Structure 1
Amino acid sequence: MSLPDDLARFLFLVPYVAQQRNGVTVRELQEILSVSRADLAKLLERVALVGAPDGSPDELVELYLEGERVHVALPQRFTRPPRFDVREMVALLAALGPLRENAPPSIAERADVLTDRIVELASERAAALGKTVGDQVRILSDGIERPEVLRTLEQALEQGVAIEAEYWTASRDSVGTRRIEPAGLLQVRGAWYLIAGDQKTFKVERFRAVALGDPMSETPDVDLEESRRRLEELDMPWGDTEIVLRGGEGQERRFRWGSGDAGLRRWVRAQRGRAEVTEPPEARAAMVAETRELLERYTAE
């Protein structure tokens, strides 16, 4: 037998024999590999101990003959789960933290399970810190979406069906019923949005009720990245709040804000006087009240 033939047989033998708790009979392997008993013995002798050149004995793959059965002993790294040190575990839990808190329910549930699994696989020192680290990782979110609404929207997207929804329209301060063909879910600046097949955008926290509807005739073809760009650039004509952003030489830009009120006020403060809330009156009044409260706090003697 040539070396390439030996290698091919070895790569077959290891996983095949390893799956059998009591090994595999010599006769069965002769038939599968189409080799004589003498050739099988030579193969086992040639690849009796295989592994990395710098590996220790417990890192070698061992094929051996015991009576009329062939067995395999795998290295510990093949049979033992990985153990994470403190830095590895903290990095993984930090990445999972936002998914546990602000992802759609199905993803959040999987992130919770994976978090527990990572802690189980951590070293003793790392495991002691595990839950603490996982519970301390948060991201800011202005959305107040209900999990059951997000779950139904997820199901509609997975199943390719429309939704029947009761949706609150802020500009009219009224709740209406509508059929929506969903194209995607996006999270922008801490709030979730449903992108419809007609490219309309619905803020998820404004859904009062959502139910699965009839199948869609075709999958909506919507550029979700373009929808995200519009949301991130605050270009939301359906938004309730008008903002004026002033630049140099008298330049100004007017746009409407469609995200959460807390996020709006944070953003306006970050513009250091360049941004002004102009309407509706209640949004402007809320901005004024918060600004006065901050001013009083920092000017109080």
Structure 2
Amino acid sequence: MPKTSARLLSLLTLLQTRRDWPGALLAERLDVSPRTVRRDVDRLRELGYPITAAKGPDGGYRLTPGTDLPPLLFDDDQAVALAIALHHATATGADIAEGAARALTTVRQVMPARLRHRIDALHVTTVEPPTTRPPARAGSALLMTISAAVHAREILRFDYGPGTEDDAPPRRVEPHHLLTWRGRWYLLAWDLDRHDWRTFRADRITPKIPTGPRFTPREPPMGDVATFIAARFRGSDPDAGTADWPCQGEVILHLPAADVAPYLRDGIVEELGPGRCRLVLGSWSWHGLAAGLGRFDADIEVVGPPELRDAFERLARRYAKAALG
């Protein structure tokens, strides 16, 4: 590669790593004169890269967004990370599978052979939990519309759900966060008519255009969005200020900890000896917790609390009745 071309690629790489670059620092990093830096910047501009220059004795350069997308330059780690992310795009819950596949093809075509071999060796199979309904996908245009309202802090109006009546008034919310939870996209917003925080499935939202006036963001519920969302989907009391399961119990299972651990999502298991382990687990209800523990098909000793013991007793009577027909 000619020296000038190599230097242009090095200059472009530097401009992509930080917002502003003093001209003298660029010249020092590239081991050239400030005049050469100015000439190389002009060459990059001719290739379509929008680079602005700051005036003054300590003037510098900035790579800014343009109207067209110029060629991009990635190092090896960035290119591999991008390819892996595109491989997993179908598991994000966004309807971008086709675009991700085309983007991966484009990136692969310009990769050097050493990287293509690494990417081609990466075979990923996305397995989703079986369901009686097809997974709900949120379109990229919808996600961008919601995200724009969140970023602009503008009130969003939308019809919600497939069964929305024609004369039903649209929902009016202050959109605060667009988030994902187990493969689905949700909008966390303050409902202006219900005066409460609500979560809305993005794939059920039909936005009304234009958006409303700007609003002043409220403090996140529970002080943290992630904590609030975990509490909401677990059925916890938001006023409790924690995302823990509303019902949490402790038992001793007559099974080795190694046989129990693979089937736990967020429980705590401790080995007690040969064939016994201590398990702390949570659920949305005491009956749900007791029934969930029964799936291990082993003897159970309840450590506590009494509500869990009562739930086992009620389930035992119910199952005995069911066994008698």
TM-score (norm 2): 0.42
Structure with higher helix content: 1
Q: Please tell me whether Structure 1 or Structure 2 has the larger radius of gyration of its CA atoms.
A: 1
Q: RCO (CA 8 Å, sep 6+): is it higher in 1 or 2?
A: 1
